[in-house]
A = this chain, B = another copy of it.
């Protein structure tokens, strides 16, 4: 198909498509004449993936380039693809080297040991976690062990669900793309579900069908002074 048809099918304006080609996100069309390029379903699918990572996943163009590069490199181990897909979450700030950071790193190490998780400290997620925990501590809302263990219980369930989802796919290409979509969009999906569950849990805890209403005025009033 010609670029105009690709634009109509995907809803992406022609200049934007050309920009993606220039930035290396989308392979160029095959030239059928010096002034005309031909695009196919592979382009259409890739274009949709770009838009989803951009609009729903919240990735920047540079991050998308990295993620797509990982998808297109069959020799790249899957965990590196995952790492690229997960880059959106952090890494922009350098961790401070204060007492809170040291405490947070120790907390993360203990958590990993307590769960018996097979992972390394070099996993960037461990550093992201330390940074977020240190930040919570710095504003006086440090995470408790109960909170982290609750999150870890939930994360194991999510990870099993994610892997079950991914492993139903056969083709390697599809598998890798699925991991990327699952990592980036699965996060958006899970966070939305978490917020829905919040409303339900607070309705049960604070009574009434009024969502969080009233709890701000009354307070739970059962403070155990933790």
Contact = CB atoms under 8 A, between A and B. Distances in A.
A189 B153 contact: no
A110 interface: no
30 contacts: A45-B139, A48-B138, A52-B138, A55-B92, A56-B93, A74-B216, A75-B217, A78-B213, A79-B211, A89-B191, A115-B200, A117-B197, A119-B203, A119-B211, A125-B193, A126-B196, A143-B165, A147-B162, A147-B164, A151-B161, A153-B154, A154-B155, A154-B190, A156-B200, A160-B201, A167-B223, A168-B225, A169-B223, A183-B195, A187-B194
B215 A78 contact: yes
Interface string A207-224: 001111111110111111
A146 B161 contact: yes
A156 to B, nearest CB: 5
A181 interface: yes
A82 interface: yes
Nearest to A219: B172
Contacts of A123: 195-196, 199, 211
A193 B151 contact: yes
A118 B204 contact: yes
B49 A139 contact: yes
Interface stretch (A12-20, A24-32, A129-137): A129-137
Contact of A161 (B154, B158, B222): B154
Contact of A181 (B77, B119, B136, B150): B136
Mostly, the A contact residues are helix
Contacts of A82: 195, 198, 212
A215 B148 CA distance: 29
Nearest to A199: B119
A187 B128 CA distance: 12
Contacts of A79: 199, 202, 210-213
Contacts of A133: 189
A185 B132 contact: yes
Contacts of A185: 132, 135-136, 141
Given A161-B146, A189-B143, A219-B170, A119 B175 contact: no
